Structure 1
Amino acid sequence: MSTAARRPPPRNTRPYAVDEATIRRRCANPDAAEYTLYVRSLIDDYLGIGGQSTIIRNARKRRLDFPGLNRQKLSEQLSRYRLGPTWEMTELIIGCLPDSCDTASIRALAAGWYECARGHRPLGYNGPVSRPPGKPGQRNVPESEPAVPVLQRKLARLQDRLRDETTRYIENLRASQNSLNYELHRANQLEAQFHQTRDELLRAKTIAAEVATLREDYARQCACLEFIAAPTLRGKPIIDLPEPPVARRRIHFGLLVASIDSQAPPARRALARYLCAYAEIVGVSPTELASRADIAVTVTMDILAGRLVPTAAHATRLATVLDCVAETLRYLSTAASNATALDECFWSIAGTVDPAALPARLPGPDEPVGSDPDNRPTHSHNNPTSPRSPIAERLRQLAVIYRDGLISDSEYAEQRERILGEL
């Protein structure tokens, strides 16, 4: 059959797989076929499917490629060369295998198959040559290690690869660390902003609740004052308003102010009234104030009654709980501390011999009002504290506080015994 009748193969066709029988038929001798199959087995065993493409990529990455190297040229040498692939191509394939391979022994065995296939050693190769299985010993093969220049070139290539990979790894690590630091900084900023926003929201809700409670208490007292001022309601009890919701229950205005000792010196009464005013605005009872300020209940009640001046530590904690001005509280405490025993005796005698003409006390919520023929309005809590009978008034105030559940049974018994002990 003439060559003119043979159809030329199409250009740029993809290399196809060639079986072992075809390779043995194309090669010039059995040793050439064994040499070709050995080189092909290196790709199949170490790189698997797509090994030829991996060889091309590794050659470019490791700087082992040469002009004209492509997959078609590689496939042609592994399937169409009658004496097997050239030694240059074999060296390239061995150099592109994984680093874990024993390339020295692989190269020595490949050189042995090359010599069996072509009858001479690879040109320019001075390394060791291994005898292929079943083949006689090679002639004129020096039993020596690879030449120094070959090892130097290999070492230089490995150093270049190691340097490039190390540089790439360091750059990736530095970029990852910078990204991590940025994200951590951003997360810390967002967390701080979240806590700040939450605190502001809680503070706004607390202030709104306090304002709503003050409005309700003010409106209730206005309603009670309207009944007191009406002439037609003389001798009739004030209407019983329902209990406010639990969230809006608080200390009524005037309850703590009424417990101030009338026989205390004026500076001490002023300090007590200042603290009572803030406690009524905040809406805390003496027991709750003592618990939150970490002060004994009896000491707290004596401070609110004007019978005791708070220490510097107590004043600091009270200012924190009541949210009052610390400078004002410190000034009033200093003025109250300057009162001597002579001043206390003087004001005690003055309170006994000079009773005030103002009403003794405000009507309770369950007592009738308007019984005075003149329907005289009750005095405002903005007036100075009126002096009263000391022992009886203190017992009455203690009973009112105990009835409202602001102190426990043991605290009530202790305070009552203390007051009676002054007789």
Structure 2
Amino acid sequence: MFKSQSRRALPLAAALFTALLTACGGGSATREAPAATCPTTPTSATTSAPPSCPLCPQCGAAAGSQVPAAKPLQAARWNELPGWGDDDLAAAWPTFLLSCRALVSRPQWPQWKSVCEEAKGLASPSTAAVRRFFESRLQPWLLTNADGTTSGLITGYYEPLLRGSRTRGKPYLQPVLGVPADLLTIDLASVLPDLKNMRLRGRLEGHRVVPYFSRSEITNREKDSADRALLWVDDPVELFFLQVQGSGRVKLADGSTTRLAYADQNGHPYQSIGRVLVDRGELTLEQASMQGIKQWARANPTRVNELLNANPSYVFFREQPLKGNGSVGTDGPEGPSGALGVPLTPERSIAVDPKHVALGTPVFLSTSQPESATPLRRLVLAQDAGGAIRGAVRADLFWGFGAAAGAQAGRMKQSGQMWLLLPPGAAPK
């Protein structure tokens, strides 16, 4: 329903469903999908959806196709998890304790309460102790797509650093916008429970609710939105990738540093500009990484706006004070907050589709290093979500802050498998 209206608006919200599907967005998204292109086969495990609401927009995969349902989880043994015995599990323990903050508050999963309360009593356990803890209290379940396959796309994201100012003036001419006052969020879950993870965005046009402005419309109306600019930055491409990542830091002209966090989105589906360049024949699939797109932009400065506007999605931000000094070139403060509401941990936090993986869940991830066959197998925690992270076996690994993390995240387009680690009785029936 409309957040600002009474329950009498519920029938109206249901009626608006069809009209606003073109402005559909992820219900709990805090960030968009990375610029990486998708595999040929979409990884979404949803068996059906409204035909105008893409499940994997960056793939161009139309929803609505019926796929035979498979069991979403397959019981597994610990010795079936490749690399389980080699991971430094103690390094993931603090991240697991952060997840426990949310897990213990879920009445539908009382099994987590005793597990997390016991975990809090273990002070700095060794890797061997962590392994014994998990193996004695949790059970691994292999995550499975609707078509019965067990592999999916694993990408990466990071927290970038931009240059900016609190006032507009060369070279700081690109506005970072806060949430517009006319953006409506429509929740249909109380009318259509199957859509509990979907929120629609729109705006009023007279007495009609219509989709919110697209990226090109927002950028063309820049003068009308200047009063909502939180900051001004110096590079439209870096601003675009800030929206893709969902959060980032800005080094201001006065020498201070601040953080920008995801606040909302215009509701339009995400379109990978890497895929656009591939389809146009201007980049190969291998070149369509974040780094490759930036190189293309530097070589084609007069065509940058046209390319960016090919993605109609637009992200709005809020400013979030940094804890710690936030100094550039140091570890700085803790990571940005994810959809779970806890700080993300580099290389131990992932973004998932909450329709398939509950936020907070421990996940054992088996994939490979970016552009490599070198195994990357480790315990991670589902602590974030993304507007285009869709499907069961689908994850986005958080690499951390800065250029080195960005280099890894921008090149990561790997295949992988995921095992959920759940207490007995917590697995879906």
TM bucket, shorter chain: under 0.3
Q: Which has the higher helix share?
A: 1
Q: Which has the higher strand share?
A: 2
TM-score (norm 1): 0.24
Larger Rg: 1
Greater RCO (Cα-Cα under 8 Å, separation 6 or more): 2
